[in-house]
Amino acid sequence: MTNLGYTPQIPVCAIASALAPSAIGIVRASGTDCVSLVAKFFSRPKALLSAKGYTLVHGWLVDSDGSRVDEVMLAVYRAPHSFTGEEMVEVFCHGGVAVVRAVHSLFLRNGFTQAQRGEFTFRAFVNGKTDLTRAEAVREIIDSKTDASRSRAAGRLAGSVRDEIADVKKQIVDTLATIEVEIEYPEDEETIADSFDVSALKKIQERLTRLVLSWKSERLYQDGLRVVLCGPTNAGKSSLFNVLLKEERAIVSDVAGTTRDWIEGWASFDGIPVRLFDTAGLRDTSDVVEAAGIERTKDIGEEADVLLYVVDSSVGMTEKDYAFVKEAKVPVVLVYNKSDVKGSSVPQDALTVSAKQNVGIDALVKKVVSLSGAGSQSAGDAEAGLGSDRQRAAVQEALDRVTHALEVSALSYSLDAVVQDLEDSLDSLGEITGEVVADDILESIFSNFCVGK
C-alpha cells in the first residue's frame, strides 16, 4: 500500500457509470489475476481465460448459489496494454440501479476490494501510462460544462501541456550543456555574457511567461464566471435569467416580489461556463421572508465576478439604484430591460434588452465576456494552456529561477550559479508532469476524482 492508501496490483473494482436507470451500466476492475478471478463467477470461464486483449466476451455473471445475476458483455484488457497498465475487465451490464449494485457486490464477494477515488488513474500514473497533466485533464474533461471547456481539456488530455513542458525542458538542458562546456573548458571571456548566448535563456523566459499567463483564461473555462442578476422588483430579472439560461427555471410574474430567494443554473457565454444567479428584487418590505431574500441578494452580489443590475426601461434608474451600483465592489453592467415597452427612455449609450422578445441578448453576453478578460473562444479556437493552479505555481517557480539566472549572468557572477538556477527550474517543471512530486500533491490530485476513474 502506498502512503496515499492506494494498493497497486491488488484487484480492485468500482462502479464506473452513474447510479441512475440507463441502458447500460459499467463496473470496472483492475489488478493482478483480474481475469482469472472474474472467470470464477462467469458462465463461460474458458472463453474468458483464453480471450486476448481488447476482446469482448458474452455470457452471464453467476452467484455462488448458481443464481444468475445478469447477462453481460466483458471487455478484456491484458497488461500492460490497458488504461491502468494492469490486467483489467470492464463489465457492461443492464443499467438498472439494482443490477449495477448486484454486479458490484458480486465482485466484492469474490476477491476484489473497493477502489478509492481516482485509484484507476493513479495506477495508470504509477505504471507510466499517463503523466500528471493528462491525469488532471481526465477529471477536467469529466467536469467540463461547455463545448469550449471540453475542447480545451481534450487538448491537455492529448498531451499539449506535457509536450510543451518537455520542449521547454529540452531547451534548458541544451543551454545547460553549453554552459557546462564553458565551465569545463574556460576561455578568456571577460563576462558570463561573453561565454554563452543568453538569448536562449530569454526565449525560455518568454515561453514560461506565456504559460503562466495562459492560466488566467483557462481557469475561467474550468471554474466559470459567477454572474448575478439583481435590481428592483418587476424589472424582468427572472425573464432575463430564463433567456440567458435557455430554459424556464425561474417563475415569471407581474406581481412584485415573486422571487423571494435566489436560484442558479449554468449557462454558456461564448463558450465560457457561467454560473448564473437570479435573486430577489430590491425594495423596502415588511415581509420577513422577502427581506431575508433581499439580504441574501446583497451577499451573493458581493461574491460575483460580474453583477448585472437590471432595471425597467420605462422606469429607469432611481436614486436607490444609483446608490447600490456605486457601492458595488465588483464590475457592474447596467441592463435596461423591457426595451419593447412603448415610452421607454434610456441613456443613449445604455445596454438595452428585451427578455420578452429576445432582443439585445448577444450584446449583453459579449459585454460580460469582455469583462471576464478571456475574450470569446469557441471550441478549438485556442491552443490549450495550463490546466490547474498547481501547474501554474510550478511554471512560475521555474520562471523565477530562469529570470534569476538571467540576472546573475548580467551581473557577471559565476556560471555555477546560473547552472544551479537552471537545474532548479528543471525540478520545478518535473513537478508538472510528475517526474518530481510529493505524496501530498498526488493525494490532492487523485482525491478529487470520482470513484471508478
Instruction: State whether 367 and 248 are in the same domain.
Output: yes
Please compute Rg for the chain using Cα positions.
Answer: 29
For residue 410, the model assigns a pLDDT of 82
pLDDT (mean) for 49-64: 97
The tens digit of pLDDT for each residue in 166-220 reads 999 999 999 998 887 777 666 655 445 455 678 889 999 999 999 999 998 898 8
Instruction: State whether 308 and 213 are in the same domain.
Output: no
The tens digit of pLDDT for each residue in 342-355 reads 766 777 778 999 98
Query: Is the CA virtual torsion 15, 17, 18, 24 positive or negative?
Result: negative
* pLDDT band at residue 125 under the 50/70/90 scheme: very high
Residue 377 lies in a domain: no
Instruction: State whether 234 and 332 are in the same domain.
Output: yes
Residue 136 lies in a domain: no
**Highest mean pLDDT out of 126-140, 276-290, 426-440:** 126-140
Instruction: State whether 104 and 211 are in the same domain.
Output: no
Q: What is the CATH number of the domain that holds 268?
A: 3.40.50.300
- Among the candidates 317, 339, 372, a domain finishes at 372
Instruction: State whether 262 and 357 are in the same domain.
Output: yes
Residue 26 lies in a domain: yes
- Among the candidates 86, 107, 129, a domain finishes at 129
pLDDT (mean) for 236-240: 89
**Which strands make up the sheet holding 263-269, listed edge to edge?**
263-269, 272-278, 225-230, 306-312, 332-337, 351-352
Instruction: State whether 95 and 156 are in the same domain.
Output: no
Which segment of 157-166, 196-205, 371-380 scores lowest on mean pLDDT?
371-380
pLDDT, averaged across the chain: 85
- Among the candidates 94, 129, 164, a domain finishes at 129
DSSP line for 154-208: HHHHTTHHHHHHHHHHHHHHHHHHHHHHHHHS----SSHHHHS-THHHHHHHHHH
Structural domains of the chain, count: 3
Instruction: State whether 238 and 147 are in the same domain.
Output: no
Q: Are strands 55-62 and 306-312 parallel, antiparallel or unpaired?
A: unpaired
The residue among 379 and 217 whose pLDDT is bigger is 217
Alpha helices in 303-351 (DSSP H): 319-327
The residue among 398 and 343 whose pLDDT is bigger is 398
Instruction: State whether 146 and 201 are in the same domain.
Output: yes
For residue 329, the model assigns a pLDDT of 86
pLDDT (mean) for 282-311: 66
For residue 404, the model assigns a pLDDT of 94
The tens digit of pLDDT for each residue in 189-199 reads 544 545 567 88
Count of other CB atoms within 10 angstroms of residue 87 = 25
Residue 1 lies in a domain: no
How far are the Cα atoms of 33, 35, 77, 83, 124 from residue 87, in angstroms, in the given order? 7, 7, 6, 9, 12
Which segment of 42-51, 279-288, 403-412 scores lowest on mean pLDDT?
279-288
Instruction: State whether 235 and 366 are in the same domain.
Output: yes
Domain ranges, residue 363: 224-372
Q: What is the CATH number of the domain that holds 103?
A: 3.30.1360.120
Instruction: State whether 229 and 367 are in the same domain.
Output: yes
pLDDT (mean) for 19-31: 96
Distance, CA of 250 to CA of 262 (rounded, Å): 9
Q: What is the CATH number of the domain that holds 430?
A: 1.20.120.430
Residue 134 lies in a domain: no
